[in-house]
Amino acid sequence: MNALAQPGRPWSREQFEAQLRQKGKSYHIHHPFNVMLNTGKASREQIQGWVANRYCYQLAIPIKDASILSNCPDRDVRRGWIQRILDHDGYGGDPGGIEAWVRLGLAVGLSREEMKDQRHVIPGVRFAVDAYVNFCRRQPWQEAVCSSLTELFASAIHSERLATWPENYPWIEADGLQYFRNRTTQSRRDVEQGLTLTLDHFDTSELQQRALDILQFKLDVLWQMNDAMALRYKVPL
Ligand X SMILES: O=C(O)c1cc(C(=O)O)c2c(n1)C(=O)C(=O)c1cc(C(=O)O)[nH]c1-2
Kindly list the distances between the CA atom of residue 113 and the CA atoms of 2, 50, 54, 208, 217, in Å, as whole numbers in the listed order. 48, 16, 15, 44, 32
Applying CB under 6 A, which of residues 37, 42, 61, 104 lies at the interface with ligand X?
61
Number of residues located near ligand X, criterion CB under 6 A: 8
Which of 125/154 has CB closer to ligand X? 154
Applying CB under 6 A, which of residues 89, 143, 151, 227 lies at the interface with ligand X?
151
Applying CB under 6 A, which of residues 48, 53, 150, 224 lies at the interface with ligand X?
150
Helix, coil or strand: residue 121? coil
Q: Give the interface segment with ligand X, choosing from 73-81, 107-115, 117-125, 145-153 (CB under 6 A).
A: 145-153
Helix, coil or strand: residue 3? coil
61 vs 190: CA distance, rounded Å: 13
Kindly list the distances between the CA atom of residue 81 and the CA atoms of 11, 68, 179, 217, in Å, as whole numbers in the listed order. 26, 8, 20, 21
Applying CB under 6 A, which of residues 157, 211, 212, 235 lies at the interface with ligand X?
157
Taken in order 223, 169, 159, 126, the sign of the CA dihedral is: negative
Least gap, CB of 89 to ligand X (angstroms): 12
197 vs 76: CA distance, rounded Å: 11
Which of 8/226 has CB closer to ligand X? 226
Q: At what angle do helices 178-201 and 13-22 cross, to 10 degrees?
A: 140
- Cβ neighbours of 4 (radius 10 Å): 10
Least gap, CB of 207 to ligand X (angstroms): 20
Q: Which residue's Cβ lies closest to ligand X? A: 150
Q: Does 89 bind ligand X (CB under 6 A)?
A: no
219 vs 19: CA distance, rounded Å: 14
Applying CB under 6 A, which of residues 23, 183, 226, 235 lies at the interface with ligand X?
183
Applying CB under 6 A, which of residues 108, 154, 229, 230 lies at the interface with ligand X?
154
Which of 5/77 has CB closer to ligand X? 77
Least gap, CB of 13 to ligand X (angstroms): 22
Residues that bind ligand X (CB under 6 A): 61, 148, 150-151, 154, 157, 183, 222
